[in-house]
Amino acid sequence: MSQKLGWIGLGRMGEAMVTKLLKAGHNVHVWNRTASKAAHLAEYGAKIEAHKIDLASCDVVFTMVSTTDDLKEVLFGTGGLVTGSAKPQVVVDSSSISQEGSAEIRAQLEGMGIAYLCTPVSGNAKVAKAGKLLVVASGPKKLYEMVEPYLQAMSRKVMWVGEGELARIWKIAHNTMFGVVIQNLCEITVLAEKAGIPRHVFLESINDSVLGSMYTRYKTPMLSNLTFDQVTFTPQLLLKDMDLGMGAAKAYGVPMPAAAATRESVARMVGHGHDHIDFAVLLAETARDAGLELKSENVTISDGLT
């Protein structure tokens, strides 16, 4: 547990996750492309590095970036983590990326003698801050056991689902459901409101029904009060994940009609802009299609996390 740790990627998720590691007392060196996002972590004991390659002397480096290409860039691109003579022993990646991209990355890293674990997560940054993330890992079991205490420090539960890239498929399946659930939640909420049930009343009833979940509960304040500017996850990231889902469906020969329809709806939302807004803006898109004018209900309602 006295290993020197590294962290690359201090976006919404990375910042929340590494803060948990730091608060648990770990020695973590951090780097982010936009350097200003790193500075405040010094107050929790993080060592801020100016270049990603400076993390190469760490034993274990965690990564949390956006896409497969971004992960390749931080590892193998110009000045990349593993492009110098010093190399970390282990790379642990939590980004939501494709199975094929992850396998390519594994082959390259393992070819250099660097072990690699996939550790995608369930939960947004608020869930991470509340210590309620689920981490699902795949890769060598012994490696998982070595890294598990670090994963536990940043989550509520950690699971190993098997070798290789299996955790990528888990995450792709998870986020396909994530998209389908928000699509349907928006549809039925607009239906209920157009028929006369106040939005927050309807959402509260769903949350307390057999269908309620941590997800429907934590989206409820935003859907009631239309606070889409409090971004947890963007429409673009959701489209990336729906496309990963459709790619996996094709690769494995699995018909996924609900996911396919949701993918098109998410693509239409992305086509309408919404670059720096939460994906829950899908509610506004659905209401517009239904000719329903939405207003903030301005209610205080629990997100189930705090």
Ligand X SMILES: NC(=O)c1ccc[n+]([C@@H]2O[C@H](COP(=O)([O-])OP(=O)(O)OC[C@H]3O[C@@H](n4cnc5c(N)ncnc54)[C@H](OP(=O)(O)O)[C@@H]3O)[C@@H](O)[C@H]2O)c1
- Which chain residues interact with ligand X by CB under 6 A? 9-14, 32-34, 37, 64-66, 70, 73-74, 95-96, 121, 124-125, 232-233, 237
| Smallest separation, CB 291 to ligand X (Å) | 31
| Smallest separation, CB 12 to ligand X (Å) | 4
How, if at all, do strands 115-118 and 121-122 pair?
A: unpaired
| Smallest separation, CB 121 to ligand X (Å) | 5
| CB of 229 or CB of 289, closer to ligand X | 229
| Smallest separation, CB 201 to ligand X (Å) | 26
Q: Which residue is nearest to ligand X (CB)?
A: 11
Between helices 257-271 and 282-289, what is the axis angle to 10°? 90
Phi/psi-derived region of residue 293, left when phi > 0, alpha when psi is between -120 and 50, beta in every other case = beta
| CB of 98 or CB of 265, closer to ligand X | 98
| CB of 52 or CB of 200, closer to ligand X | 52
| Smallest separation, CB 241 to ligand X (Å) | 6
Are the beta carbons of 64 and 125 closer than 8 angstroms? no
| CB of 193 or CB of 278, closer to ligand X | 278
| Smallest separation, CB 214 to ligand X (Å) | 12
| Smallest separation, CB 69 to ligand X (Å) | 7
| CB of 205 or CB of 230, closer to ligand X | 230
| CB of 45 or CB of 79, closer to ligand X | 79
Are the beta carbons of 132 and 305 closer than 8 angstroms? yes
| CB of 139 or CB of 235, closer to ligand X | 235
- DSSP bridge pairs for 116: 91
Q: Can you give the length of the chain in residues?
A: 306
